[in-house]
Amino acid sequence: MLKIRLKRMGAKKSPSYRIVVINSTTKREGKPIQELGFYNPKTKEMKFDLASAQDWVKKGAQPTETVQYLMKNCKEDGTLNYQKKETVKLSKKAQAKAAAEAEAKAKAEEEAKAAAEAAAEAPAEA
């Protein structure tokens, strides 16, 4: 079976990949049938022949999860359409602090609402 997968290149701890069509039983650095482009995950740089990849998929080649992601987020010119995630990961300590602040804010809003209701009822009774 044919696979469209990444072939690791580059130095230690500095990976870059070539996107290749290769037999699934061939080792990762084996000789590919066709090279479709390259991808550098550190700089988010990519050059990819999307039309050729789609032709291979029509012929029965199975893309890996990563290659499917790259195909889905590829622009017309073959570059990566990368959007940086807006969510920020917090440590457990920071999450606890944020939760405590949110709880204190909610309690203060509740007290303010109760005080406003009490003030609205007091003149109405007098």
**Tens digit of each residue's pLDDT (9 = 90 or more) over 10-32:** 999 999 999 999 998 988 788 89
**Tens digit of each residue's pLDDT (9 = 90 or more) over 48-101:** 898 999 999 999 999 999 999 888 888 888 888 877 767 778 888 988 999 999
Q: Tell which residue, 58, 59, 71, has the closest CA to residue 19.
A: 71
- pLDDT score recorded for residue 123: 66
Question: For residue 38, what are the contacts with CB-CB under 8 A and spacing of at least 6?
Answer: 9, 16, 17, 18, 19, 46, 47, 48
The residue type found at 44 is: K
- pLDDT score recorded for residue 120: 79
Question: Are 2 and 60 within 8 A, CB to CB?
Answer: yes
- pLDDT score recorded for residue 5: 93
CA distance 11 to 17: 11
Helix, strand or coil, per DSSP, at residue 26 = coil
CATH, range 2-72? 3.30.1320.10
- Whole-model pTM: value is 0.63
